[in-house]
Amino acid sequence: MTLSHYLILAAILFAIGTYGALTRRNAIGILLCIEIMLNAVNINLVGFSRYITPNELTGQIFTIFSITIAAAESAVALALIISIYRHVKTVDVDKINLMKW
Amino acid sequence: MELLFNTQELIDSINIFLTNLCWNYNIPSWILTVVIMAVVAGIVAGFVAVNTMMLVLAERKIAAHMQDRLGPMRVGFHGILQTVADAIKLVLKENIMPKVADKTMFFLAPIIVFAPAMMAYVILPWSPGIIVSDLNLGVLYLLAVGSIGVIGIIMAGWSSGNKYSLLGGMRSAAQVVSYEVSMVLSILGVIMLTGSLKMGELVNAQKDIWYICYQPLGFLLYLMAATAECNRAPFDMPEAESELVAGFHTEYGGIKFAMFFLAEYANIFAVSAVCTTLFLGGWQGIPGLPITLPPIVWFLIKTYAIVFIFMWFRWTYPRVRVDQLMTFGWKLLVPLGFINILITGLVMVIK
Amino acid sequence: MEGIGQIITFYILAGIAVISAILVISLRNLVHCVISLALMMLAIAGLYITLFAEFIAMVQILIYIGAVVVLFLFLIMLTLRLTDKDIKQTNEQKGISFILAGLLLFLLVTVLNRTSWNISPEAVVENTTSKIGNLLLTTYVFPFELISVVLLACLIGAIVIARKDKD
Q: What is the pLDDT of residue C1?
A: 46
What is d(CA B237, CA C78) in angstroms, rounded to the nearest whole number? 19
The tally of domains found in chain B comes to 1
pTM to 2 decimals?
A: 0.86
Mean pLDDT for the stretch of residues B183-187: 88
CA distances from B195 to B186, C26, C130 (A): 15, 46, 9
Test C66 with B30 for CB contact under 8 angstroms. no
What's the whole-number average pLDDT of chain C? Answer: 82
Whether the CB-CB separation of B150 and C69 falls below 8 Å is answered with no
Q: Any alpha helices (H) in chain A, and if so which ranges?
A: 3-23, 27-51, 58-88
Query: Could you tell me the pLDDT band of residue B159, with boundaries at 50, 70 and 90?
Result: confident
List, as own/partner pairs, every contact residues B311-315 make where C-beta atoms lie below 8 angstroms and the sequence separation is at least 24, other chains included.
B311/B58, B311/B59, B311/B62, B311/B63, B312/B62, B312/B66, B313/B227, B313/B232, B313/B233, B313/B234, B314/B59, B314/B63, B314/B232, B314/B233, B314/B234, B314/B236, B315/B62, B315/B63, B315/B66, B315/B67, B315/B233
Determine the residue of chain A that is closest to C8 in CA distance.
Answer: A1
Test C24 with A49 for CB contact under 8 angstroms. no
Percent of residues, chain B, with pLDDT higher than 90: 1
Instruction: State ipTM.
Output: 0.85
Of C32, C69, C82, the CB nearest to B151: C69
CB contacts of B150 in chain C (<8 Å) are 66, 70
Residues in C whose CB is inside 8 Å of some CB of B read 5, 29, 31-32, 35, 38, 42, 54-55, 58, 61-62, 65-67, 69-70, 73-74, 77, 82, 127, 129
Confidence check: pLDDT of A100 > 70: no
The amino acid that residue B95 corresponds to is: N
DSSP assigned state of A26: B
Percent of residues, chain B, with pLDDT higher than 70: 96
Test C62 with B140 for CB contact under 8 angstroms. yes
Q: Could you tell me the residue range of the domain that residue B131 belongs to? A: 97-350
Encode pLDDT of B7-22 as tens digits: 777 777 887 888 788 7
Identify the chains in contact with B, defined as 3+ C-beta pairs within 8 A: C
Q: What is the pLDDT of residue B342?
A: 92
Whether the CB-CB separation of B131 and B125 falls below 8 Å is answered with yes
Complete domains list, chain A, with CATH: 3-88 (1.10.287.3510)
Confidence check: pLDDT of C86 > 60: no
Encode pLDDT of B190-212 as tens digits: 888 888 888 888 888 887 788 88
CB contacts of C117 in chain A (<8 Å) are 3-4, 51-52
The amino acid that residue C104 corresponds to is: L
Confidence check: pLDDT of B112 > 60: yes
Q: List the end-to-end C-alpha distance of chain C, in Å, as a whole number.
A: 64
What is d(CA C25, CA C11) in angstroms, rounded to the nearest whole number? 21
Test C29 with B30 for CB contact under 8 angstroms. no
What is d(CA B330, CA B181) in angstroms, rounded to the nearest whole number? 9
Q: What is the pLDDT of residue C149?
A: 92
Q: Among B71-75, C69-73, C86-90, where is mean pLDDT lowest?
A: C86-90
What is d(CA C97, CA A19) in angstroms, rounded to the nearest whole number? 6
The reply to whether B22 falls in a domain is no
What is d(CA B103, CA B160) in angstroms, rounded to the nearest whole number? 9
What is d(CA A81, CA C162) in angstroms, rounded to the nearest whole number? 8
Q: Among B41-50, B66-75, B238-247, where is mean pLDDT lowest?
A: B238-247
The reply to whether B204 falls in a domain is yes
**CA angle (C23, A14, A73) in 5-degree steps:** 90
Q: What is the pLDDT of residue B277?
A: 87
Whether the CB-CB separation of B149 and B263 falls below 8 Å is answered with yes
Query: Could you tell me the pLDDT band of residue B300, with boundaries at 50, 70 and 90?
Result: confident
Q: What is the pLDDT of residue C85?
A: 54
Is omega for the bond preceding B234 within 30 degrees of 0, making it cis? yes
Residue B326 touches partner C, C-beta closer than 8 Å? no
For A24, phi then psi, to 5°, come to -65, 145
